[in-house]
Amino acid sequence: MKKRVCITFLYFAIATAFMAPSLPCFIAQTAYAADDDAGRAIIVLSAPFSTDGMATEITRNYGSMIQVPEATAKVGNTDVPVSTSVSYLGAAGWVNYDLPASRQMVIGDVPAPDRNRVAMYKVLYSAGEGAQRADLTYTIWTGLEMFLTTSDELTAFVGDTLVLPECRPVYRFRDVGGTTQYIDISATRKISFYPAGSSVAETVTTSENAITFDKAGVYELTFASPQTIASDGITYVSGSVERVARISVYAKRSNPIGDADGMYRCAYTIGGQSATGLAMAQASCASTVDIEKRNGSYFLYFTLTAAQYMEDLFMEQSGCAVAALVLTENYVGVNLHATTVFVLDGYQLKDELFMRVKIIPMSTVVSFSVKVDLENAYFTGASNVSAQPALPFIQADEPVGGAVQSVGARITIPPAAVSFDGVYALSYSVSYAGTGAKREGISVADGQFTAQKAGAYTVKYFALIVEDGTPYVATLEQSLTIKAADNWKTLAIIVVGLAVAGAAAAAVIILRKRGKK
């Protein structure tokens, strides 16, 4: 029996971040759906399964009550019946739990000898037959917990040495007197290696707490509890539970800035203007981003993992909005994953990106920042692009800057029109290159910027579209050269100013002399 334990911290964090006493419980009226792959049944609950938000794995104390909601299901437009089954892992293994007509479960309240000795419950919703079947499973942990010292998904590169994560299982139960007791358990560890492109596992043997990677592929660390957990001669759990950590090892780091066209993946760091915004971003965003480099443009794929609660995802860089379109939306269990694609220049990717999103149930906008870890990116494959469709045509209303401008000039970004029969997103960026090739972003406010330095400036317009699930972009560049201030005019002003000041000083001296006579 292979189960993953305690992987719902991501979901728990987002729930607790918004459950302060002064705030409403925003999940109260949300319905959940199962996987909606083509042809499969869609299961919708009449109410949230628990107060833990999106979590499909929760922990409850003995004596607490859970209301198991009703469910409906459809295959296409046809209603299909839904079955609900509940089982629990007691001292002798898995046992069917008779869910009463009220659909109320009292945790631990099962027949002897398993009362207050249950390790976990499984609530399974099933609908459809054969290829149309869909299952929606909720796990309720009541005693056994397996704490991993790192995340379930890690990334490394050939040549790296990594301290292996540890797993600490603990079993929590109530004794006959009702007192909560804890049993520390020693977990077993197995390391399997899957070479790149292979599904055949190789066993890795090591007694060390660290491992040096000499081949690309995937390492799986499987931690398991003992088959039986006992205390003072009483068996509390029978049946092993596993926790798996995966380490994806790549041949080399591959920075999309400067490397070949294609798809890349990397981690990123999140900053927040508030503790709420930071917690929200950490709890509801995928841990990695994908970056596609294609024909000089960069597409950033950013995924929200709790999109049923969010809308209006927005990104800006140097005060400029970044063109964005929602690329995909699909349910993973009860969670709606929505991937938004943004189009940027390479220099923008190197800088901090500022984002905000609206939390629908609370009508609150939270802000956070994203800094992608380009130095530790890795190449994942070629772009999946066939024939390029007809792209939008961008036409600026007028040349940027108009007549020749000098340092200190206030430049207005000309509006642009787009000719395209379809959905598109339009944005622009402003950059400065000076006399060298390296560009830097220029901050824009209210469609204007001040030219602080002499040199070459570029205004680049982007028109982003999506065709058959693939993003494409049309661009238009306008250049502006800012010249240094006219030194001879400045010198003339200074000379005239000095002459006037000198004449005034001489007049004062003459008047003083006349006054003495």
pLDDT for 497-507, tens place per residue?
555 455 544 44
pLDDT for residue 426: 96
pLDDT for residue 15: 35
pLDDT, tens digit, 9 for 90 and up, residues 209-225: 899 999 999 999 999 98
Average pLDDT over residues 198-203: 92
Does 90 or 510 have the greater pLDDT score? 90
pLDDT for residue 73: 92
pLDDT for residue 281: 74
Average pLDDT over residues 165-182: 82
Q: How far apart are the first and last CA of the chain?
A: 116
Closest CA to 119 of 223, 13, 245, 227: 227
Average pLDDT of the chain is 82
Looking at 66-80, 224-238, 352-366, 477-491, which range is the least confident one? Answer: 477-491
pLDDT for residue 18: 35
Whole-Å CA distances, 344 to 113, 129, 283, 316, 475: 62, 46, 25, 10, 11
Rounded Cα distance between 246 and 154, Å, is 6
Whole-Å CA distances, 150 to 42, 143, 163, 357, 473: 34, 21, 10, 28, 39
Average pLDDT over residues 236-249: 85
pLDDT, tens digit, 9 for 90 and up, residues 312-344: 999 999 999 999 999 999 887 668 899 999 999
Rounded Cα distance between 413 and 428, Å, is 9
Q: What are phi and psi of 303, to 5 degrees?
A: -115, 125
Say whether pLDDT at 32 is over 80. no
171 in Cβ contact with 185 (< 8 Å): yes
Q: Got the DSSP string for 285-303?
A: B-SEEEEEEETTEEEEEEE
Bridging pattern class, strands 324-332 and 288-294: unpaired
Strand runs (DSSP E) across 167-296, as ranges? 167-174, 180-184, 188-195, 202-204, 210-212, 217-224, 228-231, 234-238, 242-250, 262-272, 288-294
Rounded Cα distance between 357 and 355, Å, is 7
Closest CA to 465 of 388, 396, 382, 395: 388
Long-range contact list for 474-480, CB < 8 A, 24+ apart? 474/391, 474/392, 474/393, 474/394, 475/297, 475/394, 476/394, 476/395, 476/396, 476/416, 478/396, 478/399, 478/400, 478/414, 479/400, 480/400, 480/401, 480/405, 480/411, 480/456
pLDDT for residue 287: 86
pLDDT for residue 359: 85
Q: What are phi and psi of 31, to 5 degrees?
A: -100, 145
85 sits in the region (left: phi over 0; alpha: psi -120 to 50; else beta) called: beta
Say whether pLDDT at 29 is over 70. no
288 in Cβ contact with 266 (< 8 Å): yes
Q: What are phi and psi of 387, to 5 degrees?
A: -65, 135
Percentage of residues in the chain having pLDDT higher than 70? 84
pLDDT for residue 322: 96
Say whether pLDDT at 233 is over 90. no
Average pLDDT over residues 178-187: 84
Average pLDDT over residues 149-163: 89
Q: What are phi and psi of 367, to 5 degrees?
A: -115, 145
Q: What are phi and psi of 467, to 5 degrees?
A: -125, 120
Closest CA to 216 of 172, 254, 183, 270: 254
Looking at 14-28, 115-129, 187-201, 361-375, which range is the least confident one? Answer: 14-28
Helix (H, G, I), strand (E, B) or coil at 375: helix
pLDDT for residue 26: 26
Average pLDDT over residues 225-233: 83
118 in Cβ contact with 239 (< 8 Å): no
Average pLDDT over residues 121-149: 89
